Amino acid sequence: MEWNIESYLTYVSTIRNLSDATVAAYAGDLRSFAAWLDREEPDSTCVSADTGCLRRYVASLSRRNASVASINRVISTLRGFFRFLVERGVRSDNPTDGVRNLKKGRHLPEFLFAEEIERILGFRGHDFAAVRDRLLLEILYSTGCRISELINVDLSDVRFKRKSILVHGKGRKDRVVFLGGSAHDTLEEYVPLRAALVHSKATTGEQALILNQNGTRLTQRGAAMIIHKRAVDAGLAKKVSPHTFRHSFATHILDAGADIRVVGELLGHANISTTQIYTHVGLGKLKRIYEQAHPHGGERRR
């Protein structure tokens, strides 16, 4: 089993060119399945496991209160793994053909209103930490980047004159995102502070744009802690995460009339259906247009 798993991970990493994070997620899912087989169905292997076996595994995940999204990701991982085994002639059928994904409700993404964005960005300070924190928030809101994308941005990825950044997205797909005026101004203030920090910490070889206080690349956890602190300081009652800024970006530009296909491109979505979840925020605007345009739109019932 382990040999087949390693072969598959090598395949998705080198041939399909999937990101390290995706390969790591696949590895975790497959090894958890292998451990369950050893424990619960020792007579089954990846070569002999049938559809019933996989359904029992999915049921065990459900009993452990795994989320629908997590279970569907596991099913997807197993589907790709067994397809690989069929293509390599290790087995003749794919047992996941009889396993359906679980239905999941679509949850509206949490986002910040424009005035809340202004509040969380309203802190003062011109030292490295304050300017770095403001840049982190400004870029997230200005570009709609995933936090995993932003922390992996290098200084060489920034196009200062064009006010844009080359982002390395999911599946190693690159795209260009744009900096608004406020984000660009903060970037201009940050760069000299960054240079002074790396000089004082002797980390001049560090390529990352966003640094921690030690002069090395900021981590995802570190970014989340900064955002949480700034949200608390701003007195926001909402739970604010790095992804909240991505949702806010999409929400605000769609509400302003941007084409959904363009928004999908900016967000790096492979499928427009992923972007459509943000269209709920346009309902208010649609209602206003209706009331203005429809002959009876503005009438009140008597």
Domains and CATH numbers, the chain: 2-98 (1.10.150.130), 114-287 (1.10.443.10)
pTM (whole model) above 0.85: no
Beta strand ranges found along 114-252 (DSSP E): 158-159, 164-168, 174-178
Whether 170 is catalytic: yes
Residue 117 CA to chain centroid, in angstroms? 20
Which of 31, 73, 119, 170 is catalytic? The answer is: 170
Cα(207)–Cα(205) distance, rounded to whole angstroms? 6
Tell me, yes or no, if 300 is annotated catalytic. Answer: no
Question: How far apart (Å, rounded) are the C-alpha atoms in residues 240 and 79?
Answer: 34
Q: Is 146 one of the annotated active-site residues of the chain?
A: yes
**DSSP-assigned letter for residue 96:** G
Gap between the terminal Cα atoms of the chain: 72
Token reading at 267: 């967000």
Distance CA 194, CA 162 (A): 21
Q: Is 106 a catalytic residue?
A: no
How buried is 149 (Cβ within 10 angstroms: 0-12 exposed, 13-18 middle, 19+ buried)?
buried
Q: Is 154 helix (H, G, I), strand (E, B) or coil?
A: strand
d(CA 169, CA 183): 20
Residues 6+ apart with CB under 8 A from 98: 51, 54, 55
d(CA 290, CA 241) in angstroms, rounded, equals 34
Catalytic residue among 55, 168, 243, 280: 243
Is 194 a catalytic site residue?
Answer: no
Exactly one of 146, 184, 194, 252 is catalytic; name it.
146
DSSP 64: T
pLDDT tens digit at each of 302 positions of the chain: 788 999 999 999 998 888 888 899 999 999 999 999 999 988 888 788 999 999 999 999 988 988 888 999 999 999 999 999 999 999 999 999 989 888 876 565 688 889 999 999 999 899 999 999 999 999 999 999 999 999 999 999 999 999 999 998 776 788 999 999 999 999 999 999 999 999 999 998 999 999 999 999 999 999 999 999 999 999 998 889 998 998 899 888 887 878 888 888 888 887 766 676 666 545 555 565 556 666 665 655 44
Exactly one of 8, 141, 190, 278 is catalytic; name it.
278
Q: Which of 217, 230, 246, 247 is catalytic?
A: 246
User: Catalytic annotation on 228?
Assistant: no
3-class secondary-structure state, position 158: strand
CA-atom Rg of the chain in angstroms: 24
Six token digits for residue 16: 């399909």
